[in-house]
Amino acid sequence: MGKITLARVDDRLIHGQVMTSWLQYTGARHILIIDDETANDEFTKTIISMAVPNGIQLDVFTIAEATSFLSENNFNDLILLVKSPLTFLQLIERGIPLKEIVVGGMGASAERKSFYKNISASENEKIVLKKLIDNGVEVRIQVIPDQKSVSVKNLL
């Protein structure tokens, strides 16, 4: 397995200035989106690929495909991008070690209530976040690199 530079939860996936600032901050040249629905939707993958800056490699995988890729390949400076913290828990349960997860975008919805500032979470997502922490993962909220991060452990 290689070096994961950033493991980020953002239900918008790749979008404008926020992702560009994380790419500049981390120096990463490869983004791996892990989301079963997105990986199986050719139209959405095409739209997402248009938002990726030139010179950045993009892969969009299902959880199963990502597990194989992360287990079997040596890579450097990889950004993992998921819509839900549950995806990271599933990767850990499949043997993929993660040390730190950054929550950057979890918007409001019918199931979600305000969790911290503009970050929302459902009761199930809070349980998942706690399980991640219980698995030794540091989970923090940080929308952009210049912003101070906040530990999720202190919010649960």
Model confidence pLDDT, tens digit, residues 61-91: 999 999 999 999 888 889 999 999 999 999 9
User: What is the pTM (predicted TM-score) of this model?
Assistant: 0.94
Q: Is the pLDDT of residue 16 over 80?
A: no
How many folded domains does the chain comprise?
1
Which residue in this structure is represented by tokens 């287990």? Answer: 71
Identify the sign of the CA torsion 16, 24, 149, 83: positive
At 60, which CATH number?
A: 3.40.35.10
Q: Can you tell me whether residue 67 is helix, strand or coil?
A: helix
Task: Return the number of other C-beta atoms located less than 10 Å from residue 22's C-beta.
Answer: 24
Q: Could you list the residue range(s) of the whole structural domain that residue 28 is in?
A: 4-154
